[in-house]
Structure 1
Amino acid sequence: MYKRPQRVAAIHDLSGFGRCSLSVILPVLSAMGMQVCPIPTAVLSTHTGGFGEVEFRDLTDYIMPTLAHYRRLGLEFECVYSGFLGSEAQIDHCVEFFASYPDALSVVDPVMGDHGKPYKTYNAAMQRRMIELAAVADVITPNLTEACILLGEPYAFEPLTQSKAKSMLVRLSEKGPHYVVITGVNMAAGTMSNIGYDKERGAFWCVDCDYVPVSYPGTGDIFASVLTGGFLGGDSLPIAMARATQFVETAIKTTFSYGTETREGVMLERTLHLLGDKDLVAKYRIL
């Protein structure tokens, strides 16, 4: 008997060039067997990292009518997954989307900043509202900058000790989410790691990754998408983290080997086939 693929309502922006947001989320989750239903929050000619003046169309007024249409159709979703949001109104709309599908896995990638600084569009009010959105999520995937913003504390430029890392994970979980994953953490033990916490089990996990001296846009979107696909496919938290870490690391190394411009993002086309490999799991360890 035919069983339809699991559906993901993906509430993100769409950049036409630069391999980030929906342009990577769609192929990644599709390759993992999920049906992605994009709800674009904005359309951009390119991402905003180095291509000059960008053509931008805001789609805030598109989100709620789309939700209303899906309700009329009786569509079901197994996951609602949000990313970069451009206004407080869009955060309100995401909260409504999550509330409309209470049984779906709710994933919030709180895209607010990087390298110790918030993005220019994320003022104090937006940062406070993002905390509210994280509170209704099952899973959140901040980088270290975003984790500090959510906690209302200064960015930690020094490497994190194990005790500090655990403290951050627990305090983030206390805001609501069941699973917390912080990406790109420079640990005091000398590793670059992705760290996670399962609140129900009280379990801390860590997946180390090789350092590559380059930074590509869109890798956070890819990580969160593979993690989401892993959860929907039945992975535990550490296995989903390991799967996402391994894939992103491979994509980065592959792209670095070709020496392409960093602003173009990772060469997803060269690595997407690897997501069909169920054995694509790196080593994970207890934090």
Structure 2
Amino acid sequence: MKNSTPQVVTIAGSDSGGGAGLQADLKTFQARHVFGMSIVVALTAQNTLGVQESLPVPCEFVDAQFASLGDDFAIRAAKTGMLADTAHVQTVVKNLQTYNFGPLVVDPVMIAKGGHPLLSNDAIQTIQTELLPLATVVTPNLPEAEVLIGQQITSEAEMIRAAATLQQFGVKNVVMKGGHLEGTEASDFVLLETGEQFWLRAPRQTTKNTHGTGDTFSSCIVAELAKGVSMKEAIITAKAYIQGAITEGIFVGHGHGPTNHWAKLSTEIRIEPV
């Protein structure tokens, strides 16, 4: 019975406000019935109004956390979030090559909703050349994808092309989150390593309570993969989960509030083949 329970880990920054970062990941893991662990890469002082301060954890301590988890647990899937700077990206890459934590979901966190940078500019190339080749799936929003590929993305046609470009970095599967485009639907484009392509569409919700949506979406994929679900079904479940988390809103703080991690899966998801 040892290590028979599905186990996952988030490698990310701490959000003291609880709506994003590893706190959102751990809440999602619990909601999706997997045992969640965390490797803290950075600390932040933040709330719904924004990030006031951030502080990277010493790389040696990141190493120690990897070693501690690797010595005891049978981790079946992992994700990265806020990685701070080049040195921390390289530290995470080195450890992911040392410890087998299963499929890797890369959420390329770069900027907080309030505009505070969560990744140094010089770390972009390290993510492109060293982290993405290790990734099973990458889940950028449009501003993050624009930075990674060096091109603007202003239409669904450009989302499709951007996904193919990202796949050339070595990542197997790509989810292009289209929430920054206008329209009555929030549409994400999915490109799988098999070549299958499809859109995931859901009604757009009018709310400012969307803090941590990217973390929540990507950590749901991690949880589903750890349970042995296929990549396609894991992504579809994550879309249904985040849609429910936004639709069944909660009200916390005075700014961009968090999503509802105990919400039910939405039934409003529509799958549209390309």
* Pairwise TM-score range, normalised by the shorter structure: 0.7 to 0.9
Tell me the secondary structure at the aligned position of residue 4 of structure 1. coil
Q: Does 1:124 align with 2:124?
A: no
Confirm or deny: 8 A CA contact 1:185 1:195 kept in the other structure: no
Q: Which letter maps to 1:207?
A: L
Q: Which amino acid aligns with 1:147?
A: A
**Partner Cα distance (1:170, 1:46) in 2:** 35
What is the CA-CA distance between 1:98 and the residue it aligns to? Answer: 1.5
- Tell me: CA distance 1:188–1:53, structure 2 relative to 1, closer, same or farther (3 Å): closer
Q: Name the residue aligned to 2:155.
A: 159
Instruction: Flag the 1:120–1:187 CA change in 2: closer, same or farther, 3 A.
Output: closer
1:183-207 deviations in whole A, cap 9, x for unaligned? 12567997430111112x1110211
Instruction: Report how far residue 53 of structure 1 moved.
Output: 3.5
Partner SS state of residue 188, structure 2:
strand
**How far apart are the structure 2 equivalents of 1:45 and 1:211?**
30
Residue in 2 that maps onto 1:222: 216
Matched with 2:174 is 180
1:5 aligns with 2:5: yes
Q: Which amino acid aligns with 2:223?
A: G
* Structure 2 contact 83–119 (Cα < 8 Å) conserved: no
Query: Quick check: 1:53 aligned with 2:49?
Result: no
| TM-score computed with the length of structure 1 as normaliser | 0.82
Query: For residues 226 and 281 of structure 1, do their structure 2 counterparts lie closer, same or farther at Cα, with a shift above 3 Å needed?
Result: farther
Q: Is 2:93 the counterpart of 1:95?
A: yes
Measured in 1, the distance between the counterparts of 2:64 and 2:120 equals: 27
CA shift, 1:160, in A, is: 2.3
User: Contact conserved, 2:105 with 2:138, CA < 8 A, in 1?
Assistant: yes
* Amino acid paired to 1:50: L
Structure 2 distance, partners of 1:174, 1:253, is 35
1:208-254: CA deviation from partner (whole Å, max 9, x where unpaired): 01112334210110111112222223333332222111221122122
List runs of 5+ in structure 1 lacking aligned partners. Answer: none
Partner Cα distance (2:237, 2:67) in 1 = 35
Question: What is aligned with 2:260?
Answer: 267
Task: Report the Cα distance in structure 2 between the residues aligned to 1:125 and 1:223, rounded to whole angstroms.
Answer: 26
Query: What's 2:65 paired with?
Result: 66
* Structure 1 residue aligned with 2:79: 81
Name the CA shift for 1:46/1:113 in 2 (closer, same or farther; >3 Å): closer
Matched to 1:81, the amino acid is K
Change (3 A) 1:110 1:118: farther
Give, in whole Å, the separation in 1 of the partners of 2:83 and 2:120.
12
Cα distance in 1 for residues equivalent to 2:92 and 2:232: 27
2:202 is equivalent to residue 209 of structure 1: yes
Contact 1:239–1:284 (8 Å) recurs in 2: no
Asked whether the equivalents of residues 141 and 180 of structure 2 are also in contact (C-alpha less than 8 Å), the reply is: no
- What is aligned with 1:39? 39
Match of 1:194 among 188, 194, 199: 188
Q: Higher relative contact order at CA 8 Å, sep ≥6: structure 1 or structure 2? A: 2
Identity of aligned residues (%): 19
Residue in structure 2 matched with residue 109 of structure 1 by the alignment: 107
Aligned residues: 271
Whether the 8 Å CA contact 1:140–1:179 is kept in 2: the answer is yes
Q: CA-atom RMSD, angstroms?
A: 2.9
Map of 1:138 onto structure 2: 136
Counterpart Cα distance in 1 of 2:37 and 2:101? 17
Partner of 1:20: 20
TM-score (structure 2 length as normaliser): 0.86
Letter of the aligned partner of 1:105 in structure 2? P
